[in-house]
Chains A and B, each alone.
Chain A
Amino acid sequence: MSTLLRQIYGYRRGLWYVVSGSLWGLGAAGFINDNFLEISAIVGPSMTPTLSPDVEATGACDHLAWNKWDACSNVRRGDVVLFGIPSRPEDTAVKRVIAVEGETVILNPNRRPRKGYTKNGPDVHESRSWDAWEGRAKVPPGHVWVEGDNWRKSKDSNWSGPISRSLILGKAVCVVRPVKRFGLRPWEQYKSRTKVLRAQIDTRSDVEALDAMGP
């Protein structure tokens, strides 16, 4: 036992380098992951065939690089964003931004929430709140409307309503895996068919009225 301790003492410089090197690596990776860049996989079918086209057939998913710096600002129509889900605080989701604050979304009847995602399936209780918008959903200040590219298999703002822009954690940069799609931005080719009415009146005035009341 004392020989082992003496051997460890002899190798202490090497041990120190290994321990401190791994702490440096973990700390730097954590810092970069929290503030700048994250790489995560898309495991659901809601963005097929744009992203992760084979995830239901083979389970092979796309890994995307996300820009996490100042993710809540400059969110535009067409961005693919990573956001925290309002109904499940510990999980994140990936969808495309369709409308920003002040704009009105003309709801697509194909995307009405139904059980089992089929076109003529029975209603779920989110169907009633979808019907309550009567075809036009105005996005309130500070919120965005997100939809998945696969209208058959996406639980998005048609189910849960517009989400707060503060929930957005990152914007997509490019695909990282599989390697043959490295660097591509396949979501830019897709054009969403959901119609959006642009804002006629500046809605910053709503937020300013809120600001004037104080925190």
Chain B
Amino acid sequence: MPTNSKPPPNPRRFVPTDKSQAKPAPTPASPPTTPTTPPTTPTPRLTLYRKTLRYLHLNPTAPAARHRTFSNLLGDFLYYFLAAGLALHVFTKNGYTLGQAYGISMLPTIASFGDWLLISKTYRHGRNCHVGDVVSFRHPVNTGSYNVKRIVGMSGDFVLAYTPEEGEGTMVQVPEGHCWVVGDDLKWSQDSRMYGPLPLALVTGKVVAKWSSWWRWPEALEQGLRDAVIEDGDVD
């Protein structure tokens, strides 16, 4: 344990290579990466305890310095690149992710093209989801496609099975573990009115904000339900 010397230098820092002199011949006696035995050890043989400490790099002596070679730089780059990649994967799986939306089924809430949606993965599998939330889910029929719609009924709720003022006005009760999703643009949306209740296991997250232009701040999405209105807007 060093009590009087300054702490060992950072082994990952590079030392400048002195190119003016010829490389010294490597001493055959000592391998370059093994630290020298501390001279205060009473016996010449290392105990198993000290060998374990050295193997785990828990000994106080610094290993040999690293030179700034291309392969060392590449190794550093790969190390940080992989670490960032893994951290990003954990974050997008369990935290937040951005997705691009296209389609006219959620007008006027989400534009038909060019909107980026901030999806919170903490609401996956329908945890803490309520009626009126806009959720993203894996499509139950088009395997592999992800869709975004609004929940109008959770498990146990009674919902209108078809569009208002069309059909017979049949109401269905949403079964356990499912939800009923409907797009905001009732005329042009394919949703639970066509494919039935959506299993909550397919829900990947809740859309909390949308980013329509890169020069504007993201805006929070309107949650909750409103009465249906007939709007003759341009589909842009």
What residues of chain A have their CB less than 8 Å away from a CB belonging to chain B?
Answer: 7, 9-11, 13-14, 17-18, 24, 27-28, 30-31, 34, 72-73, 84-90, 140-143, 163-167, 207, 210-211, 213-215
Contact = CB atoms under 8 A, between A and B. Distances in A.
Contacts of B141: 140-143, 164, 207, 210
A140 B57 CA distance: 60
Contacts of B93: 30, 34
Given A9-B7, A28-B86, A214-B104, A87 B58 contact: no
B147 A215 contact: yes
A73 B144 CA distance: 9
B103 interface: yes
B103 A214 contact: yes
- Interface size range of chain B in the complex: 35 or more
Contact of A142 (B90, B102, B126, B142): B142
B95 interface: no
B125 A90 contact: yes
24 contacts: A10-B7, A27-B87, A30-B90, A31-B86, A31-B90, A86-B178, A86-B201, A87-B178, A88-B177, A88-B201, A89-B125, A89-B177, A89-B200, A89-B201, A89-B203, A140-B141, A142-B139, A142-B141, A163-B199, A164-B143, A167-B202, A210-B142, A213-B190, A215-B102
A38 to B, nearest CB: 14
Contact of A166 (B103, B105, B139): B139
B107 to A, nearest CB: 12
B83 interface: yes
Contact of B60 (A10, A27, A143): A10
A14 B53 CA distance: 9
A24 to B, nearest CB: 7
Nearest to B93: A34
A24 B82 CA distance: 9
A27 B57 contact: no
Given A7-B1, A89-B199, A90-B125, A207 B87 contact: no
Max chain B Cβ within 10 angstroms of own Cβ: one of A10, A85, A86? A86
